């Protein structure tokens, strides 16, 4: 049975995340605080400044090396963390006729994949978020 952790600031359920993602995305100066034996979660509420946390340790968004796509709605935030492909780059690619992930990756020359477990802040593949960003961009 998986225990759902609660955001220490807001008191709402959080999303479980693997330790690899937490450790990779924390600033070098704070990485030593990531205990690999702890159960890690991330608060996905956009207006909360807390990011990763465990029972013993908490990090803010300011402790991260990259912004979180679910907390930062700017064009500068990565959607694909493997390639560092940003929301803005996806919007530009769609504006120039791209309709699929492959189209966008080819257009941007950013097609590195396979490091989602550690680079994506949720430790998961970005495919659904990528597709939603393409869809949202084509509606404008």
CB crowding 106-129: b at 16 or more within 10 Å, else e: ebbebeeeeebebbbbbbeebeeb
Taking only the tens place, the pLDDT of each residue in 99-108 is: 999 999 999 9
- Residue 140 pLDDT greater than 70, yes or no: no
Q: Please give the pLDDT value at position 1.
A: 64
Quick one: what percent of the chain has pLDDT higher than 90? 95
* CB-based contacts of 116, cutoff 8 Å, min separation 6: 81, 82, 123, 124, 125, 126
Query: What pLDDT, on a 0 to 100 scale, did the predictor assign at position 35?
Result: 95
Q: Provide CATH code, domain 15-63.
A: 2.20.25
Return the CATH number of the domain spanning residue range 78-138.
1.10.10
Q: What is the mean pLDDT of residues 68-90?
A: 97
Residue 92 has pLDDT above 80, yes or no: yes
Say whether pLDDT at 3 is over 90. Answer: no
Q: Where are the domains of the chain?
A: 15-63, 78-138
Picking from 34, 42, 40, the residue whose alpha carbon sits closest to that of residue 12 is: 42
pLDDT value of position 54: 95
Region 54-63: mean pLDDT is 96
| pTM of the entire predicted model | 0.91
């Amino acid at each position: 049975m998986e225990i759902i952790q609660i955001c220490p600031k807001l008191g709402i359920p959080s999303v479980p995340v693997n330790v690899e993602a937490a450790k990779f995305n924390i600033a070098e100066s704070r990485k030593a605080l990531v205990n690999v034996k702890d159960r890690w979660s991330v608060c996905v509420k956009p207006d909360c400044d807390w990011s990763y946390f465990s029972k013993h340790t908490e990090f803010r968004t300011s402790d991260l090396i990259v912004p979180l796509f679910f907390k930062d709605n700017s064009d500068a935030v990565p959607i694909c963390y493997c390639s560092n492909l940003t929301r803005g780059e996806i919007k530009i690619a769609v504006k120039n006729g791209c309709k699929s992930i492959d189209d966008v990756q080819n257009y941007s020359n950013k097609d590195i994949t396979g490091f989602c477990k550690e680079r994506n802040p949720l430790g998961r593949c970005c495919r659904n978020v990528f597709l939603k960003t393409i869809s949202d961009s084509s509606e404008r």
